[in-house]
Amino acid sequence: MNPARFISERLKFQGGIATVSVAISFLVIIIAVAVTAGFRTEMKKGITAISGDIQLTSPDMNYMSEDSPVLLSRTDFADSLPEVRDRIPAVYRAGIVKSGENIHGVLFKGTPDGPDSLGVRIPDRLAKMLGLKPGDRLLSYFIGEKVKVRNFTVREIYPTVIPGDNNLIVFAGLEDMQRLNGWSADEVSAVEVRLNSATIGNMELASLNISTRLLATVPEDEDVPLATTAARKFNTIFSWLDLLDLNAVLILVLMTIVAGFNMISGLLIMLFRNISTIGLLKALGMKDKKISEVFLRVASNVVLKGMLIGNLIGFGICAIQSTTHLLKLNPENYFLSYVPVQLNVPLILAADLLAYLLIMALLLIPALFVSRVDPAKTVRAQ
């Protein structure tokens, strides 16, 4: 039998405050990790819906005209690339929409999964500005060599993710927008490439690979499409997401230090209360390392208990928020109307493990107190 384990199971740690502190620390860590992951997922989902991970466009792309299409067939090679999940053709066209006396400039985007013929999906911000609801008519004007008019029907209203009136995108059917521009089924404004989840972190490398293949595929008498990553196109948002990641790391470190120092004070109190026991164990021949192990085992149980409580509460709060969206945000400041959460279990378990190891490393400091105990004095005093 392991004597350190045997003795630690019989020692009582009267440190309720330390347990609560550890539980709160792990609760905050879990919420920080879940909210950060939620923001990253929702923002990337919104960006991908607008431009994909990599957007292939003509060097002369002009939202106001139909003079610079890209041939969809020139990008067929992308389907065979391991980093590519799929590619979506899109037709963009700037337009002016009118409802009653209200008018506004928007960007139309035609995609294969767009609404049915002459149906559109509009952002909630535009719906609010124009007072529109599903089923309403949306009179739209397209300026070019001559003005073209279309009378669309609002099929759906979607939540706006990307801020700014310049990013008001009205989704329509791909064929509707190709007919508007007088294009064939192979002519599009852009080909939007979506990457596999394992490759998203290397957008620039994937973009370079696709650009290289385009140079080898497109005939010399045609313009080579430009590859633009979402990270470059929306660099401000991606920088903001990176800042969120940094904040999550800082919270992890701060909460770990707080829990660690509370555990240090609790362990020191336990050591002082059991100083005679330490002296007796030394007198019986137990090494300092083994005696320290006794108290570290007790402290470890407290940390694990606090971790379990914090995890249970944290998972519960995140589960409630993910289903009810109870906590709201101002979308003008945070891009989203609610606090997004994503329970990334592997990431949370990794944060738990890292925090636990850091706390136990901090507890090695008070454990050094064991070597300062003189068994002759403590046993005689007892």
Burial of 265: CB neighbours in 10 Å, binned 0-12, 13-18, 19+: middle
Core vs surface per residue 42-53: b (16+ CB within 10 A) or e: bbbebbbbbbbb
**CB neighbours (10 Å) of residue 99?**
18
| Same domain for 289 and 326 | yes
Give the span between the Cα atoms of 62 and 64, in whole angstroms.
Answer: 5
* Total structural domains within the chain: 2
Span 16-20, average pLDDT? 80
| Cβ contact 64:144 at 8 Å | yes
| Same domain for 219 and 249 | no
Pairing relation of β-strands 137-142 and 84-99? antiparallel
| Cβ contact 25:355 at 8 Å | yes
Give percent above pLDDT 90 in the chain: 24
| Same domain for 74 and 130 | yes
10 has a pLDDT exceeding 70: no
| Same domain for 85 and 112 | yes
Give the span between the Cα atoms of 151 and 95, in whole angstroms.
Answer: 12
381 has a pLDDT exceeding 50: no
| Same domain for 241 and 220 | no
Span 271-281, average pLDDT? 66
Torsion of CA 35, 299, 19, 345, to 10 degrees: 20
pLDDT in tens, 208-262: 888 888 888 888 778 888 888 888 888 888 888 888 888 888 988 888 888 888 8
| Same domain for 304 and 173 | no
Domain range spanning residue 358? 3-44+237-381
Average pLDDT, the chain: 83
| Same domain for 323 and 206 | no
Q: Output Rg (C-alpha) for the chain, integer angstroms.
A: 31
State residue 344's pLDDT score.
86
pLDDT in tens, 78-134: 888 888 888 999 999 999 998 878 888 899 999 998 888 899 999 988 898 888 899
Give the span between the Cα atoms of 219 and 207, in whole angstroms.
Answer: 20
Q: Who's near 286: CB < 8 A, 6+ residues apart? A: 3
Of the ranges 21-35, 315-329, 357-371, which one carries the lowest mean pLDDT score? Answer: 357-371
